Amino acid sequence: MLDAAAGNRSDVSGCGVDLLDECGKRPEWLGSPVDLLLPSREKRGRVSGVRYHVCFSQIPPGSVTRVADDVYVTSPELTFVQLGRAGSVPFLAQYAMELCGGYALTPWGQHGFEPRAPLCDLAGLGHFVGSCGSMQGARKAAEALRLAGERSMSPAETRLFLMLTLPRRLYGYGLPRPQLNQIIDIPPDAQRRLGTDYLVVDLLFPGHGLVVEYDSRAFHGTPARLDHDDDRREVLQDMGYDVVVVRAERLENHRRFDGLVRQTIARRLRLEVPPMDARFARGVQNLRDDLL
């Protein structure tokens, strides 16, 4: 989770990290402040733009990668555990899905993310967390892994998955866990119509025949793309699938989203969702703030 930032050379070089360009600017991917992991409190300094963390536990093999003579960065797995020191369980589940998904956050880009291969998988993350023993953050990280899913292809898919499936105590809707970006084989006539041998659907609820698709106008706004989306939806319906579309505007509005979940998605899963009282509404808003 890195934000675009700029800073002074002394902010970074003072802690032994020289990653600034010729103009003294931080690269876009380097967040602010810089976080340093230390083995003892005595090694903490007072450098502007640096945040110090002390880890008394022995870190597992593969926890750091050398990127320069005296510069090491934490692995995605160790970063995940370290975030458990202060981050909420939903935030950690979101981060795990980013690591195990097909996208990377790029706040400086047009859409805020770009495609990339998964950095790890949930099984590997779970093994690493288990090897951390009593390290601070490990227990919360393990809880988050039980709630995360694999193969998300965008931040919106991750948020949709978590808001639908997180337990009520975390202010999700507690729905069954769908499969993300599942391949569905289609018959020959549909292959000719769509020009593909199969379809990949965003969320598939196995055993219920329910497909939930996220629709962002940023990627689906052209007439040709909208026509293609209509055609693939008709193919899925002809195959017996029930298709629900969640548009970006509805995902971002908690009351409109609540209506869609309660009146459409939950009903098609033959489930009843408890009413949204004032306490749940506040919790949902806090959850949304966590899942940025």
For 67-105, the pLDDT digits (tens) are 777 678 889 999 999 999 999 999 999 999 999 999 999
Which tokens in the block code for residue 171? 């202010």
Helix 122-131 crosses helix 138-145 at what angle (to 10 degrees)? 160
Q: Which pLDDT belongs to residue 62?
A: 87
For residue 8, what pLDDT band results from cuts at 50, 70 and 90?
very low
The mean pLDDT of 107-134, rounded to a whole number, is 93
Q: Which pLDDT belongs to residue 67?
A: 73
Q: Is the pLDDT of residue 37 over 90?
A: no
Q: Which pLDDT belongs to residue 29?
A: 61
For residue 255, what pLDDT band results from cuts at 50, 70 and 90?
very high
* Calpha distance 266→244 (Å, rounded): 11
Q: Which pLDDT belongs to residue 7?
A: 31
Which tokens in the block code for residue 20? 């600034």
Q: Which pLDDT belongs to residue 218?
A: 58
Which comes out higher in pLDDT, residue 288 or 13? 288
For residue 221, what pLDDT band results from cuts at 50, 70 and 90?
low
Global pTM value:
0.85
Mean of pLDDT over the chain: 86
For residue 53, what pLDDT band results from cuts at 50, 70 and 90?
confident
For residue 41, what pLDDT band results from cuts at 50, 70 and 90?
confident
Q: Is the pLDDT of residue 146 over 90?
A: yes
The mean pLDDT of 222-238, rounded to a whole number, is 89
Q: Is the pLDDT of residue 188 over 90?
A: yes
Q: Which pLDDT belongs to residue 30?
A: 66
Which comes out higher in pLDDT, residue 2 or 114? 114
What DSSP string describes the chain? Answer: --------HHHHHTTT-----TTSPPPTT--SSEEEEESSGGG----TTEEEEE--SPPPTTSEEEEETTEEEE-HHHHHHHHTTTS-HHHHHHHHHHHTSSEEE-TTSSSSEEE---S--HHHHHHHHHHTTT-TTHHHHHHHHTT--S---SHHHHHHHHHHHS-GGGTS--PPPPEEEEEEE--HHHHHHHTSSEEEEEEEETTTTEEEEEE-HHHH-SHHHHHHHHHHHHHHHHTT-EEEEEEHHHHH-HHHHHHHIIIIIHHHTT--PPP--HHHHHHHHHHHHH--
Beta sheet of 242-247, edge-to-edge order: 179-185, 198-205, 210-215, 242-247
> 3-class secondary structure for 242-277?
EEEEEEHHHHHCHHHHHHHHHHHHHHHCCCCCCCCC
Q: What percent of the chain has pLDDT over 90?
A: 65
For residue 27, what pLDDT band results from cuts at 50, 70 and 90?
low
Q: Which pLDDT belongs to residue 14?
A: 44
Q: Is the pLDDT of residue 281 over 80?
A: yes
The mean pLDDT of 212-234, rounded to a whole number, is 81
Which comes out higher in pLDDT, residue 125 or 222? 125
